[in-house]
């Protein structure tokens, strides 16, 4: 729905995928590209060059992609002729980005395509972003029409993200840099914009006058999933809050952009991110909770604790809950409670908007009792629905007083749009990248504003020496996370 924002340039003719033998490429990127191919959305001349450190020939790599498609796509999407045509687009070039070798071979393989629009997609360890951008520039592969996409994280704090951005910026202008946050590719996240700005119903109430607080939950049932080397030392704050949750927060809380152009939307998001109140040592004691899961049960199966999976004790948090404030007119005094964790009882991402109670209860004298304040629950995944809780009168003659009851207005998006195939977030992001639309990508100033706030929390955690508290796998986090919100008279929507 967002699309057709500002296009920076023509479509890329060649996609060079670094990290092409890695997990993300196999699970998401090739299946997404294949889906686009099958739907006729990729131009005939688009060539995809996979790149990894190991040497292998074109047909061996095509075989690997074929297996990845079979493994990660539903059987009804696999069409033999479609797969064959798709594989025809694919080539391979070994590049050792760490050693800085292989760029000349890539340039040779590109041949006539050199100097024409090339999209370079980095699905590599983040420490490689700067060196690859430099390597491409040195080999004249970073032409004016060329662009680069990068997975998260961009750096590990503000200073290092500035370094990465500067190194990449030396080779590619900002309007050629596409920073990926795959949450922005999710249909339901884009739908938040439609909900807020394509309806009159909500926006007049979307402020501190009518809203008591907001909750954002991103709960996962998975644990480390073999990502030990990446995750330990990173933790939930940097892995989930710095990017996905702050993007959600920005979309929920930003001022209305004047259009869905990439500049208009991203200007509003960055303003919002800069309004987040930084946390001090005093703040983190009262407004943050870190947790780490111990052994327990998830989805009916026993699971090991984080330290056991790791094989060592660790201070890394697998859960974080925060109470955040946005210092601007619209949100004065409204707490935003954020929580995310691994090994939670269920996978769910949702936003809860808790409205204030009505100013005066006209039903009090006729025995109707307490009126529940309205709330709106926006489920982003796995269910896609919006529920609004409102008070209604129970039918009857009311001889013994009026009876009111909370009822739910339920809009199921998967039901309303039943015939439409749900696309992988990366389909949207890859297509926008190929076509040059930056709206759903994170701008440099956004990523830096995100780090600025996260650094304030990490610095404050360091000052008070905050260690994660244990929670049993399969629970909603440490009990102090419950206290964090209940102290304010509210409770998490579980
Ligand atoms: C990634 C994180 O960015 O997002 C993972 O690194 C996390 O730790 C994943 O599991 C969650 O994504 P999704 O799309 O499954 O909600």
CA-proximal residue: ligand 1, atom 2 (nearest): 239
Q: What is the pLDDT of residue 364?
A: 85
Collapsing DSSP states into helix, strand and coil, what is residue 248?
helix
Task: Enter the DSSP assignment of 128.
Answer: G
Give me the catalytic one of 156, 182, 213, 244. Answer: 244
CA–centroid distance, 292 to ligand 1, in Å, is 17
Ligand 1 binding pocket (C-beta < 6 A) is: 220, 239
The Cβ of residue 114 has, within 10 Å, a number of other Cβ atoms equal to: 17
CA–centroid distance, 398 to ligand 1, in Å, is 51
Q: What is the pLDDT of residue 399?
A: 86
Strand partners, 215: 337, 352
CA-proximal residue: ligand 1, atom 6 (nearest): 239
- Among 488, 461, 486, 459, CA closest to 291: 461
CA-proximal residue: ligand 1, atom 9 (nearest): 240
**453-472 confidence digits (pLDDT tens):** 999 999 999 999 999 999 99
What is the enclosing helix (H) or strand (E) of 454?
A: helix 444-464
Average pLDDT of the residues in 186-192: 92
CA–centroid distance, 425 to ligand 1, in Å, is 12
Q: What is the pLDDT of residue 426?
A: 97
**249-305 confidence digits (pLDDT tens):** 999 999 999 999 999 999 999 999 999 999 999 999 999 999 999 999 999 999 999
Give the tokens for residue 393: 């009168």
Which atom of ligand 1 lies nearest, measured to the CA of 222?
A: 10
CA-proximal residue: ligand 1, atom 4 (nearest): 240
Task: Enter the DSSP assignment of 186.
Answer: S
Average pLDDT of the residues in 16-40: 97
Q: Using an 8 Å Cβ cutoff, are 176 and 148 in contact?
A: yes
Which atom of ligand 1 lies nearest, measured to the CA of 243?
A: 3
pLDDT(368) > 80? no
Residues near 482 by Cβ (< 8 Å), separated by ≥ 6?
476, 491, 492
The rounded mean pLDDT for the chain is: 94
Which atom of ligand 1 lies nearest, measured to the CA of 381?
A: 16
CA-proximal residue: ligand 1, atom 7 (nearest): 240
**144-168 confidence digits (pLDDT tens):** 899 999 999 999 999 999 999 999 9
Average pLDDT of the residues in 435-456: 97
pLDDT classification of 5: cutoffs 50, 70, 90: low
CA-proximal residue: ligand 1, atom 8 (nearest): 239
φ/ψ bin of 446: left (φ > 0), alpha (ψ from -120 to 50), beta (otherwise): alpha
* Separation between Cα atoms, residue 344 and residue 318, nearest integer Å: 10
CA–centroid distance, 400 to ligand 1, in Å, is 53
Q: What is the pLDDT of residue 112?
A: 94
* Separation between Cα atoms, residue 290 and residue 467, nearest integer Å: 7
* Separation between Cα atoms, residue 362 and residue 365, nearest integer Å: 7
Q: What is the pLDDT of residue 417?
A: 86
Strand partners, 353: 214, 376
DSSP character string of 73-124: S-GGG--HHHHHHHHHTEEEEE-BTTTTBSHHHHHHHHGGGTTS-EEEEE-S
- At 472, give phi and psi (nearest 5°): -75, 130
Which atom of ligand 1 lies nearest, measured to the CA of 244?
A: 3
Which atom of ligand 1 lies nearest, measured to the CA of 183?
A: 14
* Separation between Cα atoms, residue 440 and residue 143, nearest integer Å: 23
* Separation between Cα atoms, residue 108 and residue 326, nearest integer Å: 52
Q: What is the largest CA-CA distance in the chain?
A: 88
- Residue for token pair 């990068």: 150
- Alpha carbon 230 to its chain centroid, in Å, reads 17
Record the pTM: 0.95
Pocket test for ligand 1, best of 126, 218, 240, 379 (most atoms within 8 A of CB): 240
CA–centroid distance, 163 to ligand 1, in Å, is 25
pLDDT classification of 8: cutoffs 50, 70, 90: low
The Cβ of residue 420 has, within 10 Å, a number of other Cβ atoms equal to: 10
The Cβ of residue 483 has, within 10 Å, a number of other Cβ atoms equal to: 12
pLDDT classification of 7: cutoffs 50, 70, 90: low
CA–centroid distance, 349 to ligand 1, in Å, is 11
Give the tokens for residue 344: 């939670």
244 is catalytic: yes
Which atom of ligand 1 lies nearest, measured to the CA of 425?
A: 14
CA–centroid distance, 181 to ligand 1, in Å, is 10
**376-415 confidence digits (pLDDT tens):** 999 999 988 999 999 999 999 988 888 999 999 998 887 8
pLDDT(1) > 50? no
Task: Enter the DSSP assignment of 437.
Answer: B
* Separation between Cα atoms, residue 358 and residue 379, nearest integer Å: 25
CA-proximal residue: ligand 1, atom 14 (nearest): 183
């Amino acid at each position: 729905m967002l699309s057709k924002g500002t296009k920076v340039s023509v479509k890329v003719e060649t996609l060079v995928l670094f990290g092409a033998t890695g997990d993300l490429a196999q699970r998401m990127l090739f299946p997404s590209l294949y889906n686009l191919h099958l739907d006729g959305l990729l131009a005939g001349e688009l060539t995809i060059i996979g790149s990894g450190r190991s040497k292998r020939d074109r047909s061996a790599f095509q075989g690997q992609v074929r297996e990845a498609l079979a493994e990660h796509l539903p059987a009804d999407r696999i069409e033999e002729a479609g797969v064959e045509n798709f594989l025809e687009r694919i080539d391979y070039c070994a590049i050792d980005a760490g050693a800085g070798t292989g760029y000349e071979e890539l340039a040779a393989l590109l041949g006539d395509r050199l100097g024409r629009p090339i999209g370079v997609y980095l699905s590599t360890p983040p420490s490689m972003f700067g060196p690859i951008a430099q390597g491409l520039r040195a080999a004249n592969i970073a032409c004016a029409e060329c662009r680069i996409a990068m997975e998260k994280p961009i750096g590990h704090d503000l200073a290092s993200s500035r370094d990465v951005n500067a190194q990449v910026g030396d080779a590619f202008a900002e309007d050629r840099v596409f920073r990926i946050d795959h949450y922005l590719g999710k249909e339901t996240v884009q739908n938040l914009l439609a909900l807020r700005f394509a309806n009159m119903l909500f926006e007049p109430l979307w402020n501190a006058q009518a809203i008591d607080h907001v909750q954002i939950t991103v709960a996962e049932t998975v644990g480390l999933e073999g990502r030990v080397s990446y995750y330990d030392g990173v933790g939930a704050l940097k892995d989930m809050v710095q990017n996905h949750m702050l993007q959600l927060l920005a979309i929920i809380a930003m001022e209305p952009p004047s259009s869905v152009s990439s500049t208009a939307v991203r200007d509003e998001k960055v303003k919002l991110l800069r309004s987040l109140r930084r946390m001090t040592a005093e703040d983190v004691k009262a407004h943050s909770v870190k947790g780490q899961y111990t052994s327990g049960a998830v989805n009916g199966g026993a699971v090991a604790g984080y330290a056991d999976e790791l094989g060592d004790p660790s201070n890394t948090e697998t859960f974080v809950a925060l109470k955040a404030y946005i210092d601007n007119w619209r949100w004065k005094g409204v707490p935003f409670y954020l929580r995310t964790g691994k090994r939670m009882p269920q996978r769910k991402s949702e936003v809860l908007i808790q409205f204030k109670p009505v100013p005066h209860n006209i039903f009090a004298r006729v025995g109707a009792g307490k009126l529940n304040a309205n709330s709106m629950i926006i489920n982003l995944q796995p269910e896609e629905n919006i529920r609004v809780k409102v008070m209604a009168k129970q039918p009857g003659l009311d001889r013994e007083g009026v009876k009111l009851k909370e009822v739910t207005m339920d809009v199921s998006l998967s039901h309303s749009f039943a015939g439409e195939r749900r696309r992988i977030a990366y389909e949207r992001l890859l297509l926008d990248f190929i076509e040059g639309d930056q709206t759903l990508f994170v701008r440099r100033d956004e990523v830096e504003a995100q780090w600025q706030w996260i650094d304030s929390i990490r610095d404050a955690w360091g000052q008070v020496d905050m260690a994660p508290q244990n929670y049993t796998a399969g629970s909603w986090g440490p009990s102090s996370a419950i206290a964090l919100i209940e102290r304010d008279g509210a409770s998490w929507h579980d």
